[in-house]
Amino acid sequence: MDLGIKGKKAIVCAASKGLGRGVAEALAADGAELTICARTKSEIEQTAREIAQRYGVKVTPVACDVTTEDGRAALLAACPEPDILVNNAGGPPPGNFKDFSLDDWRKAVEGNMLSPIALIHATVYGMIERGWGRILNITSASVKGPIPTLELSNGARAGLTGGVAALARRVVRHNVVINNILPGPFETDRLRSTSHAIAAKTGKTFEEVHGARQADSPAGRFGTPEEFGAAAAFLCSQHAGYITGQNLVLDAGGINTTL
C-alpha cells in the first residue's frame, strides 16, 4: 500500500534504535524526509546514515535530550514545520510506589507527558494551517493495563493520553489527527535490559527470564520493531485522516479484554 507520505517531513523522537528506529525506517521506506533524535551523537548519526543509504531519503540527525527544553528547541530548529510528529523517549524507571519521591514523579511527568505535549503545542497549529498533520505518541500497554512495577509509566503516559484526547477531536476537521500506540513487549535493548535486571534479582539466567517472558505472550514471542514501525506508519499515513484520539494496543492480545 502506498502510504501517501512521499516528501512529507517527519520528526521521529528517540530513534537511534528500538521502536523509534522501527517507525523511522517504515516512514523512510515510503519516502518521508526524516529528522530523528537521540542523546548519543555517534549512534543517531550512524542510524541517520544507514536509513538515508537504505531508502534514499534525506535524514537529519539531532543529538539531543528530547525531555529538555534545549533538546526540543534543537529538534524544532532542524525541522520547524513537520507534517508528521512521532513522540517517543526513554521510559521512567521501574520500582515500588512506596519508594518513589515526588521528584521521581515530576521527572516521569516531565519526560513522558509534558515533553510530548510541548512538541505537539509547537507543531500542531502549523499542521492545521497547512491542512495536513499526523501526530503519534508512543506510550505503553501500561496505559490500558497497569503494570505493577511501572507505576511512574502507568501514570505519566495516561496523563499524556488524557491530555490530548479532546484536542485530537478538535483538530481532525483540519485533516490533523493525534493517536497513541501502546506497545506490549517488543524485542529491543530496553526489553533485553529489563530481562537482565530480573535475572540478576532472581538468580535465574537471562535466557530463562527472557524465554519465560516470550512464552507469556499469546503469540509466544515478542513483537519486532519492524512490526511496530509498520503499524505506526499507517497511523501517520494519508489513509489515517478519519482515525483520531485512538489508542492502538500492540501486544498480541496480551491484555485480556474483549474491547
Give contact residues for ligand NAP (rule: CB under 6 A).
14-20, 37-40, 43, 65-67, 88-91, 138, 140, 183, 185-186, 188-191
Closest contact distance (angstroms) between CB of 192 and ligand NAP is: 8
Closest contact distance (angstroms) between CB of 73 and ligand NAP is: 13
Question: What's the rounded Cα separation, in Å, for the pair 206 and 153?
Answer: 24
Closest contact distance (angstroms) between CB of 38 and ligand NAP is: 3
**Contact (Cβ atoms closer than 8 angstroms) between residue 37 and residue 14:** yes
Phi and psi at 85, nearest 5°, equal -125, 120
Closest contact distance (angstroms) between CB of 205 and ligand NAP is: 20
Question: What's the rounded Cα separation, in Å, for the pair 23 and 13?
Answer: 10
Question: What's the rounded Cα separation, in Å, for the pair 99 and 29?
Answer: 44
Which is closer to ligand NAP, CB of 5 or CB of 44?
A: 44
**Contact (Cβ atoms closer than 8 angstroms) between residue 237 and residue 87:** no
Which helix (H) or strand (E) segment is 224 a member of?
none
CA nearest neighbour of 150 among 205, 108, 206:
108
Grid cell locating 206: 537471562
DSSP lists the bridge partners of residue 63 as 38
Which is closer to ligand NAP, CB of 67 or CB of 237?
A: 67
Which is closer to ligand NAP, CB of 30 or CB of 65?
A: 65
Which is closer to ligand NAP, CB of 9 or CB of 21?
A: 21
Closest contact distance (angstroms) between CB of 242 and ligand NAP is: 26
Which is closer to ligand NAP, CB of 15 or CB of 167?
A: 15
3-state class of 52 per DSSP? helix
